[in-house]
């Protein structure tokens, strides 16, 4: 799971960062921290090595179902690309099939692929929509992400109760207000 050379290089960088902030990386509590941080970075950014479209294609099934499919409350954990601090929340993803459905577990996996990269919430929302659109070619896709950003809570504005909501829609979710309203009603319930 962890690339040895990458782990060594990241650990060396982490050790230097500890020195730069005035810490002693040789003290007992920090001895293994550089390696742990290196492995954490690899885990938290493993989405770069995954192909979201291949994940969707691996469980694509012909099916004559034409009503909304919604997977809601998908946990999202990502890192803000501006400060490398976490943001976290929930994603709600729906699509209207057009002759094909996808295995339900593949929707959260696609969310994770994009979330496990340095991100901004706005791009994350679009990438999820676009991957589902590209592979399933559905009648429409809707994605809403609600998240809290530690870069706004721990530093900068320091607003503890702020939430950010983003949405990206295509097809019938844009063209048919009733379909969009049904989606919004289902995710708020």
Using the predicted structure, report yes or no on whether residue 189 has a pLDDT greater than 90: no
pLDDT at 129: 99
pTM of this prediction?
Answer: 0.95
Domain 53-188 has CATH 3.30.420.10: no
* pLDDT tens, position by position, 84-141: 999 999 999 999 999 999 999 999 999 999 999 999 999 999 999 999 999 999 999 9
Match domain 4-44 to its CATH number in 3.40.50.150, 3.40.50.11260, 1.10.286.10, 1.10.3720.10: 1.10.286.10
What's the pLDDT band for 61 if we cut at 50, 70, 90?
A: very high
pLDDT at 156: 87
70-76 mean pLDDT: 98
Q: How far apart are CA 94 and CA 72, in angstroms?
A: 8
The residues spanned by each domain of the chain are: 4-44, 53-188
Catalogue the active-site residues.
80-83, 121, 149, 151
Q: How far apart are CA 42 and CA 64, in angstroms?
A: 41
DSSP string, 146-188: EEEEHHHHTSTT--TT--EEEEEE-THHHH-HHHHHHHHHHHH
């Amino acid at each position: 799971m962890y690339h040895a050379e990458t782990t060594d290089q990241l650990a060396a960088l982490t050790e230097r960062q500890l020195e730069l902030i005035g810490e002693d990386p040789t003290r007992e509590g920090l001895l293994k921290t550089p390696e742990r941080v290196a492995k954490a970075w690899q885990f938290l950014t493993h989405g770069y090595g995954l192909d979201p479209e291949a994940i969707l294609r691996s469980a694509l099934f012909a099916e004559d179902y034409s009503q909304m499919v919604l997977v809601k409350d998908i946990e999202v954990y990502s890192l803000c690309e501006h400060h490398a601090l976490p943001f976290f929340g929930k994603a709600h993803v729906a699509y209207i099939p057009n002759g094909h459905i996808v295995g339900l577990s593949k929707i959260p996996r696609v969310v994770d692929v994009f979330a496990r990269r340095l991100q901004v919430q706005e791009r994350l929302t679009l990438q999820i929509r676009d991957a589902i659109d590209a592979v399933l070619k559905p009648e429409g896709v809707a994605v809403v992400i609600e998240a809290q950003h530690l870069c706004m809570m721990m530093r900068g504005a320091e607003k503890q109760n702020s939430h950010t909501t983003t949405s990206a829609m295509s097809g019938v979710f844009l063209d048919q207000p009733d379909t969009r309203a049904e989606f919004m009603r289902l995710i708020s319930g």
